[in-house]
Amino acid sequence: MDWMAWTLPTALFFGTIAAILAGMTAWELRSPCIERKGFLPISTTRGDRLFIGLLGSAYLHLLVVGATDWSVWIASVLSLFLLFAVMRWG
């Protein structure tokens, strides 16, 4: 049987996602949120904005890596900016 090879970047990625989810859970328990309307065309909660931001960041990252010859680090930084924008103003 072949097992998945967990490289350090892969482990850090999934560890970061798990830490974000744990942090969002603690934040929600400490301070329940209400839906609000930002630049997104729907009313969203913090969890909704996190999901939309992570999904949009993944697609942006794939687009930049696939359609340009830019470094993967540039794609990562742009994706983080998108995630921040959605979480803050979405």
Predicted local distance difference test score (pLDDT) of residue 89 = 92
Predicted local distance difference test score (pLDDT) of residue 9 = 80
pLDDT at 90 exceeding the cut of 90 = no
Largest CA distance in the chain: 49
Predicted local distance difference test score (pLDDT) of residue 1 = 59
Predicted local distance difference test score (pLDDT) of residue 2 = 67
Question: Which positions ≥6 away from 40 have C-beta within 8 Å?
Answer: 49, 52, 86, 90
Strand, helix or coil at 43? Answer: coil
- Give per-residue pLDDT as tens, 13-69: 889 899 999 999 999 999 988 898 989 899 999 999 999 999 999 999 999 989 999
> Rounded to two decimals, what is the model's pTM?
0.80
- Reading the block at residue 22, the tokens are 């744990």
- Reading the block at residue 84, the tokens are 């921040």
Structural domain boundaries in the chain:
8-33+44-89
Question: Which positions ≥6 away from 28 have C-beta within 8 Å?
Answer: 46, 47
